[in-house]
Amino acid sequence: MNYKPETRCVQAGYRPETGESRIPPICQSTTFFYGDSQKMADLFDLKSDGFFYSRLANPTVDALEKKIASLEEGVCAIGCASGMSAVTLLTMTLCRAGDNVVCAKEIYGGSFNLFSVTLPKFGVECRFFDVNASAEEIETLIDDRTKFIFAETIANPVISVLDFSKIASLCERHRLLFVVDNTLATPILCRPFSLGAHLVVHSTSKYLDGHAAALGGMIVDGGNFVFKDNPRYPDFNRPDESYHGLVYADLPVAFGTKCRAQMIRDTGAIMSPQNAFLTFLGCDTLALRMERHSRNAEKVAAYLSGHPAVEWVKYPSLPSDPYHRLAEKYLPKGMGGMMSFGIRGSVKDCARFMESLHLITQETHVADVRSCILHPASTTHRQLSEQDLIAAGIAPNLVRLSVGIEHADDIIADLEQALAVVR
């Protein structure tokens, strides 16, 4: 489909036949009927498309997968039970014990735990780099068992912006996969495949759903990487005995097929039809919402940066932000709704500020239509001392704000009256 992203948000993924429901029905069935055993055999041999068991594929999930593949301009997408399962399945599709992953330090806490604690138990090592490190420094981490480089477009929660060309040129030189978590930018603000990435993951639980209603994840295959005869990927170049001796590198969609045929099959971590349905509806308004989130956040950031009770603000639209230049280059349509700022005062002052908010609610979730806020030092990270907090890169006065789609004036007025309590 050659339509613009705004059009694809509402039109891609599903088109009914005469008399069928206008939006994809929730196909709440574990299995599918076939009167003809040859048809079923062709499905199992991957000779034809179709559904046989909802642990592998389901029509409602399929509609959402097609919509997100279209928005990202990839060749195939795979719906997973959560963002974390998407990152896990992607890694399991590419790595075996003894392999390693080169990963930005500045990533979502759940992904950081997966890479730093859980995967090493299975023999997959993770080598972390600072997003600001030079290409030469990052290159020293790559060896012939490195399977991919992983980073987030806009990192949660530090709000750094990825330097795509730095990583893309490294990956090109080493014939290495470049994997991007595009959750906080969404395909509306950034399309990683046009910037050198080969695979994209999403937590659809954030902006794609947009309503804090459904957990989900998505892996998108750009179809732009050559596995064939690439010595880095022997598992793509020899027959898969567990799947009729298939050689994935010979297929038009190598990664996507391997991921579904092996990892979705063996782990069962597919998205549920109900969650796919809710996320499909959410994506209808994604372009509209991302525009509003971004405009609101720009206004809020400008307001906060001029407030005497605010010590610092991290949002890349601000000319003083260290990622301003990268954001202008890679996020020209907007930078999303996530920001953080520091309150001039003690942890107690921060808590008083938080308690004084009326409209903006305290939540651990981010990136949905409602503005929400979190003070890690007095909630999620309250067991840490001030020194431990600083060592973890979380200033005791740091407040994380996810700007919603309410009227910007109302969001700013709420912040204003709560900041007055601190001053």
Ligand X SMILES: *Cc1c(COP(=O)(O)O)cnc(C)c1O
Contacting residues toward ligand X, per CB under 6 A? 82-84, 108, 110-111, 152, 156, 181, 183-184, 203, 205-206, 215, 217
- Of the pair 99, 181, the CB lying nearest ligand X is at 181
- Of the pair 206, 292, the CB lying nearest ligand X is at 206
- Of the pair 179, 395, the CB lying nearest ligand X is at 179
**What distance in Å separates the CA atoms of residue 296 and residue 298, rounded to the nearest whole number?**
5
Where b means 16+ CB within 10 Å and e means fewer, 365-393 reads ebbbbbbbbbbbbbeebeebeeeebeeee
**What distance in Å separates the CA atoms of residue 200 and residue 285, rounded to the nearest whole number?**
21
Measured from the CB of residue 232, what is the shortest distance to ligand X in angstroms? Answer: 25
- Of the pair 183, 257, the CB lying nearest ligand X is at 183
- Of the pair 321, 368, the CB lying nearest ligand X is at 368
Looking up tokens 């806490």 gives 109
Instruction: Check: CB of residue 342 under 8 Å from CB of residue 311.
Output: yes
In this chain, which residue has its C-beta nearest to ligand X?
Answer: 83
- Of the pair 187, 345, the CB lying nearest ligand X is at 187
Provide Rg for the chain, Cα atoms: 22
- Of the pair 365, 407, the CB lying nearest ligand X is at 365
Measured from the CB of residue 190, what is the shortest distance to ligand X in angstroms? Answer: 13
- Of the pair 58, 88, the CB lying nearest ligand X is at 88
Instruction: Check: CB of residue 176 under 8 Å from CB of residue 149.
Output: yes
Start-end of H helices in 268-333: 273-284, 286-305, 324-330
Which pair of tokens denotes residue 269? 């971590």
Measured from the CB of residue 337, what is the shortest distance to ligand X in angstroms? Answer: 12
Measured from the CB of residue 394, what is the shortest distance to ligand X in angstroms? Answer: 16
- Of the pair 276, 408, the CB lying nearest ligand X is at 276
- φ and ψ at 154, to 5 degrees? -120, 115
Measured from the CB of residue 336, what is the shortest distance to ligand X in angstroms? Answer: 11
Write the DSSP string, 59-78: HHHHHHHHHHHHHHT-SEEE
- φ and ψ at 377, to 5 degrees? -60, -30
Write the DSSP string, 168-235: HHHHHHTT-EEEEE-TTTHHHH--GGGGT-SEEEEETTTTTT-SS----EEEEE-S----TT-TT-HH
The residues, any chain, with a CB within 8 Å of residue 92's CB and separated by 6 or more, are 263, 267
**What distance in Å separates the CA atoms of residue 143 and residue 147, rounded to the nearest whole number?**
9
Q: How many helices (H) and strands (E) does the chain have?
A: 18, 12
- Of the pair 89, 405, the CB lying nearest ligand X is at 89
Measured from the CB of residue 83, what is the shortest distance to ligand X in angstroms? Answer: 2
Bridge partners, residue 341, by sequence: 313, 399
Measured from the CB of residue 208, what is the shortest distance to ligand X in angstroms? Answer: 10
- Of the pair 217, 345, the CB lying nearest ligand X is at 217
Looking up tokens 């981010």 gives 366
Instruction: Check: CB of residue 64 under 8 Å from CB of residue 278.
Output: no
**What distance in Å separates the CA atoms of residue 339 and residue 316, rounded to the nearest whole number?**
9
